[in-house]
Amino acid sequence: MASKRGQPDDTSPLTRAAEAFDDALQRFSGLTEALRRRELDSRHALEGAAQLLKEVASCQEELQARAQSLIAALGLARDTQQAQADLVQARAREVQQRTQEYAALTTRFEEVGLQAAGLNTLAQGLASRRGIADQSLRDTELPALLSELDELRERMGAVAQQAAQLVDDARAARFEELCSRADSLRQQLLAARNKAGLLRETLVKAVPPTLIS
């Protein structure tokens, strides 16, 4: 059906059915009113009344057909609304599930971040002791420092592995933004671990071998 301006009619089937029923109802009302007021005082008047009766009967049939169409359109609208309601409920469950998944991954990210921050602070403290390599080292200082660096690098590697697992899990869950943040944290941990390794090498090279044995 096209509109009066020649544009396609984009009204809903329910609206069209309701409008068609209302048009038929108005015609029916008009015909019945005309029949009620029709004078029956002549042959011509009787013939006119008979014609009106035919039109009323025809309009009544049309009204019944329009009513059936309206009922069908109402049923279709009800089914459509129910389908949409089901979609909304399903989507709501999906949103809730995804929110819980994201919250769990975010909690893990925050935990890894806290561990990384603690290790970074520890690494800064050890790096500040690098000057000890340029001084006269006591026999007990260098082995302890090297042991701390080894432990630090091991812990950094373990936390970096946690970050790597988080990257995989965030990617599998399709949270690319969180995946990127976790991967950045992983790379920072690995870079810090490499610096700790370089510091260890520098300390080892800077002192007599007798202090390391």
Q: Are 182 and 163 in contact (CB under 8 A)?
A: yes
Residues 6+ apart with CB under 8 A from 122: 152
Q: Is the pTM of this model over 0.75?
A: no
Q: With a cut of 50, which residues of the chain have pLDDT below it?
A: 1-4, 133-134, 136, 211-213
**Cα–Cα distance for residue pair 14/71, rounded to 1 Å:** 9
pLDDT of residue 109: 97
**Cα–Cα distance for residue pair 72/74, rounded to 1 Å:** 5
pLDDT of residue 8: 53
Q: Which residues pair with 8 in a beta bridge?
A: 2
pLDDT of residue 127: 76
**Cα–Cα distance for residue pair 27/33, rounded to 1 Å:** 10
pLDDT of residue 59: 93
**Cα–Cα distance for residue pair 1/134, rounded to 1 Å:** 92
